[in-house]
């Protein structure tokens, strides 16, 4: 008789054990020769050495399943015990799974191009209108890299456009003032990583969310770094950000050129960066359009309406200029 302690690393034990410990009870029934006691993320096992080895292998396979798919069912447990592939394993093209078990993958040609670019390029610009999934998919790629241990941390950043006097009027400390700007990033992460695990990762700085100004002076290595809403960076800000890149780092810069919130006398750093860096080897530029919009169908109509309005306004301005010259 031997005793071993198995630690369920990197996963939420509540998901592993099931509702009312249903999965745990099932596992116990499948290994009647072993005495199994679980507490928090540690499973204590007592029994025959040969049976113990088989149990360890199966538990590790189950742990990896939960890590990958954020869920496990009784059917999955039975398939793993029998040495068969689970039904989720047969699904192709999935980046990661949401905490509800929903597969997150490219849903359009250009979204798939973004996924492919992440494999071959160290820096990717993903530019397109609202609703094209550029931020959500970028964070999914970062979470995948973290789970597969090809990156040690995720760093997410956004420019706080009103980081001057207006921000000072908001209540709370600096974190409280900045969090509203970063909330879309939190929302995406909460959809992909269980709440307790996400909190732990943020406390350990495995996942860092910070405004762009906090990037100055840092060298970002062994990480996936995402700059969201990059159209609202100045030329100096984006240049500072891009030069933070360290060893074994991938950068994704997302933006929507139709939603620039900078003062009219300031040039968008993203527009300039695309003009300067677009043809450099190792950098991919993915342009997403209306056909890539994956939100409510009204979003596509709204984007189309504003595009038409902008074009009409531009044509009118050009017409006035010509008339004035005459």
In angstroms, the CA 66 to CA 101 distance is 10
Tokens of 5: 């302690």
Q: What was the pLDDT predicted at 176?
A: 63
Q: Does residue 105 have a pLDDT over 50?
A: yes
Question: What is the pLDDT, as a whole number, of residue 165?
Answer: 37
How far apart CA 211 and CA 77 sit, in angstroms, is 43
| Burial (CB count <10 Å: 0-12, 13-18, 19+), residue 202 | middle
Read off the pTM: 0.76
Locate the DSSP E strands across 160-206: none
Residue 299 pLDDT > 90, yes or no?
no
Q: Give the span between the Cα atoms of 230 and 269, in whole angstroms.
A: 7
The fraction of the chain above a pLDDT of 70, given in percent, is 93
Q: Give the other-Cβ count within 10 Å of 250's Cβ.
A: 21
Q: What is the pLDDT of residues 154-198, one digit of tens each?
A: 999 988 765 443 445 555 555 566 677 778 888 999 999 988 889
């Amino acid at each position: 008789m031997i005793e071993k302690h198995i630690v369920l690393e990197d996963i939420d034990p509540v998901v592993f054990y099931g509702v009312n410990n249903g999965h745990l009870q099932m596992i116990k029934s499948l290994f009647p020769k072993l005495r199994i006691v679980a507490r928090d993320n540690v499973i204590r096992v007592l029994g025959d050495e040969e049976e113990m080895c088989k149990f360890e292998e199966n538990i590790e396979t189950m742990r990896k399943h939960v890590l990958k798919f954020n869920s496990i069912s009784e059917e999955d447990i039975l398939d793993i015990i029998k040495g068969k592939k689970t039904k989720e394993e047969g699904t192709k093209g999935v980046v990661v799974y949401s905490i509800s078990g929903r597969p997150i993958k490219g849903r359009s040609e250009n979204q798939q191009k973004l996924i492919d670019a992440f494999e071959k390029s160290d820096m990717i610009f993903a530019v397109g209108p609202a609703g094209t999934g550029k931020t959500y998919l970028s964070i999914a790629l970062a979470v995948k890299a973290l789970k597969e241990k090809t990156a040690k941390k995720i760093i997410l950043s956004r420019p706080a456009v009103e980081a001057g006097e207006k921000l000072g009027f908001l209540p709370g400390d600096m974190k409280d003032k900045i969090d509203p700007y970063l909330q879309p990033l939190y929302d995406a992460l909460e959809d992909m990583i269980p709440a307790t695990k996400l909190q732990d990762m943020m406390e350990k700085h495995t996942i860092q969310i910070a405004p762009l100004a906090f990037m100055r002076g840092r060298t970002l290595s062994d990480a996936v770094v995402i700059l969201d809403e990059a159209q609202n960076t100045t030329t100096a800000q984006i240049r500072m950000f891009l030069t933070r890149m360290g060893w074994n780092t991938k950068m994704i810069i997302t933006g929507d050129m139709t939603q620039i919130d900078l003062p009219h006398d300031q040039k968008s750093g993203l527009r300039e960066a695309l003009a300067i860096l677009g043809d450099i080897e190792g950098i991919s530029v993915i342009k997403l359009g209306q056909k890539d919009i994956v939100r409510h169908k009204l979003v596509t109509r709204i984007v189309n309406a504003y595009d038409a309005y902008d074009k009409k306004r531009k044509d009118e301005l050009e017409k006035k200029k010509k008339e004035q010259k005459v």
